[in-house]
Copies of this chain bind each other. A is one copy, B any other.
């Protein structure tokens, strides 16, 4: 792409020793362009409140414009309250507008009208703020200086050791610190594995159909083609798949995303047999395995064949996606390839955050948080299912045994999924769509994916009421 050729000038802001780039769009009258550029600079915070502006004469000269054009632009912004002029003093940016020195809530108005129930986030308001703060304080008081380097690309030994214990206990994962690699959430783990497979000459990876579109895009961005593994009530299978050309498969055995089923024992055996026969690798995405409600969670697939499976876990659902911390437990021969990919990708995860998470895990605070949230989410699930059954008994719901969302099936006489999503969106309610998660969108049964985890606790019941009412309206009007 050629470099931009629109007129622009570094605008020296007198008295503060700063430089400001004012860039005029190529189109439209110049006065409007000057106005727009200044307005955007003020909004961005490049021109914070109180900043003196250059004289109209100087700016006009810099931009190659008539002085009157700049005078008009200043005057217009003054009447809007963005600029302040005083006799005998420079024009300055007025204090009342928003800017980056205002608290973020002021600049990013909440969107009170939108209820976002897509199955994406846990309850972000439940993040254990005090514990994280205390964990960081603990690290700052106790860590040796080398902790501030990025020495071990595999991840801090303290975190790997703590995770090895916890994953054994909680998920039956066969883990030792040497088998663990810390990464930036599952996104990065998948990206590193896909890159490594591509570098080895792999061409195809199997992924559940439906699954997260973003995960398919990550794999495809590394040059691999994605073959869909059909998902039924027993989970993913290799039925009808050209399994011989797959170098790996990515599955969610505990709680298929988004369908919500667990991978059956027979299907587990099928996958493991495929891996053993072909040398392909199984990536077990255990994204929400901690949240199972009705019985003890099934042990991880990895526990049955730790040499065939890369287990992937994450703090994104248990703590917060904003932490960007996840972990892979991999067969020994996969460790240095993944670490090497990590070294080339970003030279490791924050050592400080890793130590803080190690502290939470080794003191038990992490598992206490998980238990607390498991109870919370279970109550929310029950409430959601109960409210749906009371108001819309004709709808079947599924995927209830675990996780953070329910699947609401649309009956054949209801509007299509796409139409239901549109109608809900018109009433300000955003949920996910099952069909929209398919590799071939539009094929397969229609259903809505509704997170009961996303709303903060104080707004939970109200949110569900609103969703149920909106859904009733959406499918009844149909």
Contacts and interface: CB of A to CB of B under 8 A. Distances in A.
Interface of A: 1-4, 8, 10, 12-13, 16-21, 23, 41, 44-48, 99-101, 103-105, 107-108, 121, 124-125, 127, 129-130, 132-133, 136-137, 140-150, 157-158, 161-162, 164-165, 168-170, 172, 174-178, 183-185, 187-188, 191, 214, 217-218, 221, 269, 272-273, 275-276, 279, 296-297, 299, 303-308, 316, 320-325, 331-333, 343-353, 362, 456
Contact of A347 (B47, B175, B185, B296): B185
Contacts of A184: 184, 346-347
A348 B350 CA distance: 13
Nearest to A129: B140
Given A45-B165, A144-B105, A177 B324 contact: no
Contact of A20 (B162, B168, B177): B168
30 contacts: A3-B269, A3-B279, A3-B308, A10-B172, A19-B296, A20-B168, A21-B172, A21-B303, A44-B178, A45-B161, A45-B176, A46-B165, A46-B168, A47-B168, A48-B165, A99-B161, A100-B165, A104-B161, A105-B144, A108-B157, A124-B148, A125-B145, A129-B141, A136-B137, A187-B347, A188-B345, A218-B344, A322-B350, A324-B347, A324-B348
A352 B132 contact: yes
Contacts of A18: 165, 168-170
Given A133-B136, A142-B103, A158-B100, A45 B164 contact: yes
Contact of A344 (B19, B170, B191, B273): B191
Contacts of A133: 136-137, 140
A4 B305 contact: yes
Contacts of A143: 104
Contacts of A174: 10, 19, 21, 44, 46
Contacts of A17: 169
Nearest to A48: B165
A245 B420 CA distance: 52
Given A1-B276, A4-B305, A191-B344, A322 B150 contact: yes
A4 B307 contact: yes
A42 to B, nearest CB: 10
Given A1-B307, A185-B347, A346-B346, 14 more contacts: A1-B276, A4-B307, A10-B303, A44-B178, A45-B161, A46-B172, A100-B162, A105-B144, A129-B140, A148-B322, A149-B322, A150-B322, A221-B344, A322-B351
Contacts of A185: 150, 346-347
A234 B162 CA distance: 51
Given A48-B169, A157-B108, A333 B178 contact: no
Given A145-B124, A346-B191, A150 B101 contact: no
Nearest to A324: B350
A303 B23 contact: yes
A352 B297 CA distance: 31
A425 B384 CA distance: 66
A146 B303 CA distance: 35
Nearest to A135: B136
Q: Lowest 10 CB-CB distances: which A-B pairs, in order? A: A46-B168, A100-B161, A3-B272, A21-B172, A322-B351, A148-B320, A184-B346, A188-B346, A45-B165, A187-B347
A351 to B, nearest CB: 4
A351 B121 CA distance: 14
Contacts of A305: 1, 3-4
A333 B2 CA distance: 9
A146 B124 CA distance: 7
Nearest to A268: B3
Contacts of A168: 18-20, 41, 44-47
A273 B107 CA distance: 37
B100 A164 contact: yes
Contacts of A272: 2-3
Contacts of A162: 100
Contacts of A347: 184-185, 187-188, 321, 324
Contacts of A321: 148-150, 347
A116 to B, nearest CB: 10
The residue in A168, A191, A275, A323 that gathers the most chain B C-beta atoms within 10 A of its C-beta is: A168
